Amino acid sequence: MAKKKQTQSNIGTRPPVVAIMGHIDHGKSTLLDYIRKSNIVDGEAGGITQHISAYEVIHGDRAITFLDTPGHAAFAKTRERGATTADIAILIVSAEDGVKEQTMGAYEFIKNSGIPFIVAINKIDSPKADVEKTKFSLVEKGIYLEGMGGDISYNEISAKAGTNVDELLDTILLAADLEELTGDANKLGEGIVLESSLDPKKGIQATLIIKDGTIVSGNYIVSGLSSAPVRIMEDFAGNTLKTATFSQPVRIIGFDKQPQAGDDFMVFNNKKEAQTYLKNYDPQTSKKEEDPVITSKETVPLIIKTDVIGSLEAIKHQIEKMETSSAVFKIIAEGVGEISSNDIRQAGTDDQTVIVGFHVGQSKSAGDLAEVMGVEIKRFDIIYELTDFLEEALESRRTRIEEEEIFGEAKIIRVFSWTNKGGVVGGKVKEGVLETGDKVAIVRRDVEIGRGTIKGLQKSKQDATMVQADDEFGMMISSKYEIAEGDRLRSVRIVSK
């Protein structure tokens, strides 16, 4: 990413970005409403008109940014350098109901995001509340609270009455201090797109969370292939801004294309810099670390025969839960009794069809026909062996996605020689490994400027096939893009997933 010319950084503490997760009826909206009305920036309690899906509050003399749509897709998408939309999550649980299925779904969601979280036990003022039972139900599910065998902070609150909500905000700020969240106000801004929409009068607009740096009126914003001049920038209340910095939610109006929720954005000094970046932008080399979107799933035909109807129902129940990101079973025939020639003929119309039998045999004619038609029959007497086989069969049919991964990164310290086809450079490995034959991305000021191939390596003046973290090396590299001192090389490989 392009950078400002700056003489020194301006590192400061960055306010936390917080998302509230949990079961739909456990008080997420009530808590957000109470916090907004009681702690809104500039004290505009209650009368504020919220224009975007995130907002800032002040607690004491410190800011906190809350996402107003905690289940937002952007929250789950991990970014380069492991950043996420939210820095901290609140897992809210009702003292009336305890842990529900959605509670555990939210917990897994938070855990997979890799961010710290705090438990808020809500509705403690309800006559039906049982706080101790709720705490034990959390521990039973593997959520180990402080004082109960774990180190997960928690607060007992009433979002409706506001009881202990200030203490919850204190806990959030303590968690933020432990994370040592910082930002550099002198950098050009960067962050994540929360959402985008088309206003019939104003045009394409996007809500952004700034994770680092500053956006100033006159800058240019780029996200994917979308770009916008920073002419109209608003805060969460719809007030016009000239400057915004890290952790602030802002709305930018005037994009030429609709940016995608969850995508990164970066800021450039002017339109010329932004256009230069977009000219060299390759979506294939800018893949995010996320699950690829599968527009449709392959259906694998399945025929099931069992000894009794109860077995058939049990197996069907298991199969209903079986799917991969790109494949799912479709039962085309089922029944009680032995596997027949009819089953074989039906399977023979599609070579993807799977036939399984449970506690059943097959007729002689079915066996003969299966051999002629090349249809495979699998029979089982133990149900988990049958389900294991089906899971393996489904996985083998899953669409494989090829993705690019970074295996190592090095900094170039010296350029010894260079031609229009490549040259010899020296450097030091910062992390991972680089090997002879690796394709490398050439990165300058966080922007990839081109690609090359490692043709040879030396370590301690000896030929080497690989260098790893902290190794100093000499490298022969072929590339039409000239490398300069201070550039970084990232070894990239295609992996199948």
Which ranges of 77-213 does DSSP label H, i.e. alpha helix?
101-113, 131-140, 165-179
State the Cα–Cα distance between residues 135 and 119, nearest whole angstrom.
Answer: 10
pLDDT tens-digit readout, 277-332: 998 876 655 544 444 433 456 788 899 998 877 678 778 878 887 877 667 888 88
At residue 76, does pLDDT exceed 70? no
**Residue 40: pLDDT band by 50, 70, 90 thresholds?**
very low
Residue 9 has pLDDT above 70, yes or no: no
Q: What percent of the chain has pLDDT over 70?
A: 86
Fold of 17-180: Rossmann fold (3.40.50)
Instruction: Identify the CATH number of the domain defined by range 298-396.
Output: 3.40.50.10050
- Phi-psi category of 149—alpha, beta or left, where left has phi over 0 and alpha has psi -120 to 50? left
Whole-number pLDDT of residue 348: 82
- Show the DSSP H helices in 327-382 as ranges: 341-347, 364-373
CATH architecture of 184-285: Beta Barrel (2.40)
Q: How does residue 266 score in pLDDT terms, banded at 50, 70 and 90?
A: very high
The helices-and-strands tally (H runs, E runs) of the chain is 10, 29
At 327 the pLDDT is 78
Question: Residue 172's pLDDT is what?
Answer: 95
Map out the domains of the chain as residue ranges.
17-180, 184-285, 298-396, 402-496
Query: Which residue type is seen at 111?
Result: K
Secondary structure E strands in 346-401: 354-358, 377-380
CATH superfamily of the 402-496 domain: Translation factors (2.40.30.10)
Domains 17-180 and 298-396 share a fold: yes
Helix, strand, or coil here: 244?
A: strand
> How many beta carbons lie within 10 A of that of residue 181, not counting itself?
20
Whole-number pLDDT of residue 238? 87
- Residue 1: pLDDT band (50, 70, 90) is very low
The band of 102, judged by pLDDT with boundaries at 50, 70 and 90, is confident
pLDDT tens-place string over residues 411-452: 999 999 999 889 999 999 999 999 999 999 999 988 888 999
Q: What is the mean pLDDT of the chain?
A: 83
Exposure b/e, 45-63, CB count within 10 A at least 16 = b: eeebeeebbbbbbebeeeb
pLDDT interval class at 401 (50, 70, 90): low
